[in-house]
Amino acid sequence: MKYSFLFCLFGLAIISACNNPKNGKKNSGNTDSTSSIKKELTGSFYKRLEGTIAGKKVVMHLQKVDDGEVSGSYYYDGSWLNVSTDSVIGKDSIVLAEYNFYESYFSQDSKSPLLKLKWNGNGFDGTWESGDKTKKYPIALTEKYSEGSYSFSTGFYEDSVKAFADRPKSPSAEIRFEYLESKRNDENGKWLDSELKKMFGLAQADRSTGFKNIAATYFNDYKNEVAEQQKDSQDNKFEAWMNYTNNSQQTINYNDNGYVVIDFLADAYTGGAHGNYSSTMFCLDVQNKKQLVLNDIIKIDSNTLERILERNLRKEYNIKSKDALNTVLFDDFIKPNKNFYFNANGIAFMYNPYEVASYAQGQIVIFIPYSDVKAYLVPAFAQRMGIR
């Protein structure tokens, strides 16, 4: 498909630096409403933005590291939309390409709408333009961190190693971590930062040391694999498959009401026709310092939830009632998994490639509006989210 939830990661420029790790960390400059006005966008940032597109209220999350794209998401008029850099104009203006996951699933050749944004020091002004350029709407967004939301800085660590150190055109292995770091130093901020580190398996180690150790293990395994392939091969054809990559990235899907939802995206190539990727969703209750499970949000029996999932799957993927689900999925049923997330409008279930459908189908995401499960919402969750 033309677009997927992965394009913000696969579009990143990977800088080869044999045995020369890069650890980039930049604060976002204007990361809250009290910061001094800066009319240029900083090299890296996370921004939570509130405002309107076409007069309708939105909350948008954007983030960037120095050598990467601007990427993010927002919810608008019934659709969960993702955005990524189309072009950069000077130091204060960007053009973002927008896609709706479900529309891109069916319309692979459709032209993306564009968000043409100019940074004013406190937010963005600009224009939303349809792919066919027949519709234009104003955009007004302000960077804002309301009570129950959190500010972050972004950074990255990357390194690479050659399979054959003495060859200029040797295949290589590359590893990259793109991470978020809590900017708050209070009890909640420290807990949140600890959870962000755990997602990478860093435990108590500082990020630079932890990433370096993970990279060292990865490169050692790669060298052993090269040696094995070289021993078993009668020629050097195996080298065509030895450009390995291992990338991971944290992005924010929701940041309000004392909750932070992180999409932890990992992709890797270790030879073969294509690599593989997966998203793991982490729903963090910062207020109560716990990772949410589904029962913290809804109390519902599995049969009822399966029926609700099927109904929304059919609606989103245009599967008619007379058609079997296996026109899209492996099986003629869909069961809830533990890989869920939520936003202000509903709950979504993320199914990674090969989990319920083929690799070619990409990630299957089923979004359930709160109105479909209102009777089953946990009262404490509904109250904090302002669901009535």
- Over residues 316-360, the pLDDT tens digits come to 899 999 999 999 999 999 999 999 999 999 999 999 999 999 998
CATH (domain of 306)? 3.90.640.20
**Which of 292, 325, 342 represents a domain boundary (last residue)?**
292
Radius of gyration, CA atoms only, the chain:
22
Model pLDDT, residue 8: 37
Q: What is the pLDDT of residue 176?
A: 97
Confidence of residue 21 (pLDDT cuts 50, 70, 90): low
Instruction: Pull the structure tokens for residue 29.
Output: 């400059």
For residue 184, the domain's CATH number is 3.30.565.40
Q: Please provide the average confidence, as pLDDT, over all residues in the chain.
A: 87
- Domain span at residue 113 reads 8-292
Same domain, yes or no: 61 and 29: yes
* 373 against 103, higher pLDDT: 373
Q: Is the pTM of this model over 0.85?
A: yes
Residue 98 lies in a domain: yes
Q: 242, 276, 292: which is the final residue of a domain?
A: 292
Over residues 142-200, the pLDDT tens digits come to 999 999 999 999 999 999 999 999 998 999 999 999 999 999 999 999 999 999 999 99
Strand ranges inside 171-275, DSSP E: 172-182, 244-256, 259-269
Residues 285 and 304 placed together within one structural domain of the fold = no
Average pLDDT over residues 127-143: 95
Rounded mean pLDDT, 57-63? 95
Give a yes or no: residue 1 inside a domain: no
Same domain for 273 and 189, yes or no, is yes
Distances from the Cα of 186 to the Cαs of 148, 150, 182, 192, 286, in angstroms? 13, 11, 10, 10, 12
**Of 258, 292, 326, which residue is a domain's last?**
292
Whether pLDDT at 102 is above 60: no
The CA distance from 124 to 140, in Å, is 6
Q: Would you place residue 211 in the very low, low, confident or very high pLDDT band (cuts 50, 70, 90)?
A: very high
Total residue count of the chain as it appears in this document: 388
Same domain, 190 and 321: no
Q: What percent of the chain has pLDDT over 90?
A: 71
Q: What are phi and psi of 90, to 5 degrees?
A: 70, -160
Same domain, 155 and 304: no
Q: What is the predicted pLDDT for the residue at 111?
A: 83
In a domain, 3, yes or no: no
Q: Cα separations (Å) of 268 from 23, 167, 173, 227?
A: 20, 24, 10, 20
pLDDT in tens, 280-306: 999 999 999 999 999 999 999 999 999
Q: What pLDDT, on a 0 to 100 scale, did the predictor assign at position 195?
A: 97
Residues 273 and 216 in one domain: yes
Same domain assignment for residues 202 and 247: yes
Whether the per-residue pLDDT at 99 is higher than 90: the answer is no
CB crowding 314-332: b at 16 or more within 10 Å, else e: bebbebeeeeebeebbeee
Neighbours of 149 (CB within 10 A): 20
178 plus 41 within the same structural domain: yes
Domain assignment of residue 2, yes or no? no
Residue 330 lies in a domain: yes
Looking at the fold, whether 246 and 277 belong to one and the same domain comes out as: yes
Residues 103 and 153 in one domain: yes
Q: How far apart are CA 253 and CA 243, in angstroms?
A: 31
Please give the C-alpha separations between residue 60 and each of 75, 148, 171, 311, in angstroms, as whole numbers. Answer: 8, 16, 40, 28
Residue 143 lies in a domain: yes
* 240 and 298 fall within a common domain: no
Q: What is the pLDDT of residues 258-274, one digit of tens each?
A: 999 999 999 999 987 88
Domain annotation covers residue 257: yes
Q: Residue 110: its pLDDT value, please?
A: 67
Please give the helix or strand (H or E) that residue 86 lies within, else none: strand 79-89
The total of structural domains in the chain comes to 2
pLDDT band per the 50, 70, 90 thresholds, residue 40: confident
Residues 256 and 339 in one domain: no
